[in-house]
Amino acid sequence: MSDALVFLVTGCASGIGKHLAGAITRRGHQLVATDVNSAGLEAAAKEGGWGERAVLHPLDVRDEQAWEAALRKALERFGKVDVLLNVAGYLKPGYSHQLDAAEVDRHFDINAKGVVHGVRVLGRHFVAQKKGQIINIGSLASLTPVPGLCLYSASKYAVRGFTLAAAQELKPHGVKVTLVMPDAVQTPMLDLQVNYDEAAMTFSGPRPLTVEELEHAILDVALPKAPLELALPFGRGALARLSTFLPAAVVGLAPLFTRRGLKKQAALKGKGS
């Protein structure tokens, strides 16, 4: 198809990235699907039937040289890149006074520095060709601090700050930048949080978003309209933004949401037993 785009997407072995990879190829676009988990990436491609529209490439987002190699791979295979989707992320619940030092590095290296390296490398390419689009996946935790997920929240705050600044820097060069900030999404990252009381706030919403809802938000809204920010769902996003203006009020509401989340966690544990 003449209007087919070339996407470079991270975190394609599972979760949101895996679903987006399939959606992109089904919609007739071309894809460089990347993940640090090469075996998982191959299995996802086979399961999803990504076909010849997709090329698989191992990528550790923490490695700037690996980003350069991924870009070369895209240009060799497709001759261009139109869109960068920074999806890869990491989360392990934990309270601030109990954190392992390695987890500090892992959260910031993957969630924040991984996004920065991707924008650095693809941003230079997009500036040179005078067009391109970058969509970074943040979180509602980019807007409001989440007790029990302090490292994840802090790293996603960093993603938001960097994305908003980069959007202003790249706009004069014809490069569009959007930050998508979803609430909890039904993925393996959500499943792993069920058994952590620290993650109770994650389960405090009415229901988790589906990967199909993320597909719509990213490919049908963020891609064509290029808003600066997109928070999902609207109601929870508006509530999360309160922390900017009324942080004390949000802190006061936290115990209520924690109790609600713990009840839902208990129910989910019961279903799994």
| Catalytic residue ranges | 152
Strands 229-232 and 83-86: unpaired
Sequence-distant (≥ 6) Cβ neighbours of residue 248 within 8 angstroms: none
Helix, strand, coil in percent for the chain, rounding step 5: 60, 15, 25
**Rounded to 5°, angle at Cα 15 from 269 and 138:** 100
User: Where is 125: in which H helix or E strand?
Assistant: helix 114-129
Rounded Cα distance between 218 and 87, Å, is 11
- Return the half-sphere exposure (C-beta side, CA atoms, 13 A cut-off) of residue 136: 36
Q: How far is CA 221 from CA 18, 75, 163, 169, 178, in A?
A: 19, 26, 18, 22, 10
Residue 185 bridge partners (DSSP): 209
